[in-house]
A and B are shown apart, each in its own frame.
Chain A
């Protein structure tokens, strides 16, 4: 099946710094990617839809200025958590849609903000 990678797999940063997470579709092109966030013992919550060549669509309650999404190419979307704070600590998962609309998930990135 199709493979989606994320980098880094985990990151620890100081409060106030920005962190960039990459999501790559390794063997297929994805015009659409999604970013999810998951807190411990909770389900995945969709944050935004990332569309190649256009602005991301954010879900209600997600601050677009805080979570910057850039879908620069058909195989790469990035999520930048700006001015991160401890409450942003979470597990971030991306997914990518392949041509038949099947969704493939990345392995996730664990962010810890000190």
Chain B
């Protein structure tokens, strides 16, 4: 099984609705990253979480990391068409490695 699982795989919401994307790790994380991407383009860094229970917000996007550091959620409030894209969570498991393992991504469509 995968080390990092994302759900749902795809999501279609009406503009203005809230949504949540989850990322679950099979082992304790050193760091958890959220990115947004459109296929064929680079990754846009959204947020990094390192401490258990940590929560960060940027505009209408909030990300949380649970106390055990194995599960993170990304929450978008009052979604807009500009939020559409692929959301990827990435995990670091080693304090020195720096390399990331990625979830399969969640494709978000926001209907106007």
Q: Which residues of A contact B (CB under 8 A)?
A: 1, 32, 34, 36, 38, 40-46, 49, 91, 93, 95, 97, 101-108, 110
Task: Report how far A54 CA is from B44 CA in the complex, Å.
Answer: 29
Summed over the interface, the residue pairs from A and B with CB atoms below 8 Å come to a total of 51
Q: Indicate whether B40 reaches chain A with its CB closer than 8 angstroms.
A: yes
**CB–CB A44/B102 < 8 A:** yes
Given A32-B98, A43-B105, A44-B88, verify A107-B39 contact (CB < 8 Å). Answer: no
Task: Report how far A95 CA is from B43 CA in the complex, Å.
Answer: 10
Q: How many residues of B contact A (CB 8 A)?
A: 21
Contacts of A1 on B, CB cut-off 8 Å? 45
Minimum CB distance partner of B88 in chain A: A43
Specify which of B33, B35, B42, B102 is in contact with A107 (CB 8 Å cutoff).
B42
Contacts of A93 on B, CB cut-off 8 Å? 42-43
7 tightest Cβ-Cβ pairs between the two chains A and B: A107-B42, A105-B43, A97-B98, A43-B102, A44-B102, A43-B104, A101-B98
Instruction: Return B8 CB to nearest CB of chain A, in Å.
Output: 14
Task: Report how far A46 CA is from B3 CA in the complex, Å.
Answer: 13
Task: Report how far A78 CA is from B20 CA in the complex, Å.
Answer: 38
Contacts of A107 on B, CB cut-off 8 Å? 41-42
Instruction: Return A90 CB to nearest CB of chain B, in Å.
Output: 11
**CB–CB B39/A103 < 8 A:** no
**CB–CB A34/B43 < 8 A:** no
- B 51-69 to A, binary, CB cutoff 8 A, 1 in contact else 0: 0000000000000000000
Contacts of A34 on B, CB cut-off 8 Å? 98-100
Contacts of A49 on B, CB cut-off 8 Å? 99
**CB–CB B40/A108 < 8 A:** yes
Contacts of B42 on A, CB cut-off 8 Å? 93, 105-108
Task: Report how far A45 CA is from B103 CA in the complex, Å.
Answer: 9
Contacts of A32 on B, CB cut-off 8 Å? 98
